[in-house]
Amino acid sequence: MEAGVDAEFEVFEGDADTLLSAATEGARLSRAVGDLYAQHMMELNLGGAALLAGDMVEAKKHYEEGLRIAFQVDDRIGQAYMVAALGFHVAMNGRPGVAARLLGASETIRLSAGASVLDYPFLPTVCASGALVWS
């Protein structure tokens, strides 16, 4: 894992188990109090933790659930993050064309929501060759 790959991962000083534990507890608490906004952000974190662990199936499940909730609560910025995360997911699965379309869709959602700046610190640049370049 290269430095700067995932902001949450850096917060936990590279400890993937602690990241997973914190995100799992955050998701549990969010569900317990019915906080859908926090819950869909925890799904983003759980998806990232699953990616770090190499579990692509689990990551996709969390990103899709987070996207479903983001639509339910009409959180356009959350939608943009989730679509971008799904773009990263498919890029890691060797599908750069689909990744580019998802990242473009994420940008469109972001702009339509009026967000002028939205950083995706957990995403690499997907080159035309399909290679991933971490900033």
What is the fold, at CATH topology level, of the domain defined by 7-133? 1.25.40
* pLDDT at residue 8 tops 70: no
Looking at residue 103, its amino acid is: L
Q: CA 80, CA 127: separation in Å to the nearest integer? A: 20
Residue 25 scores a pLDDT above 70:
yes
Looking at residues 41-46, what average pLDDT do you find?
Answer: 90
* Overall pTM > 0.85: no
Domain boundaries, the chain: 7-133
Backbone φ and ψ for 125, nearest 5 degrees, come out as: -85, 130
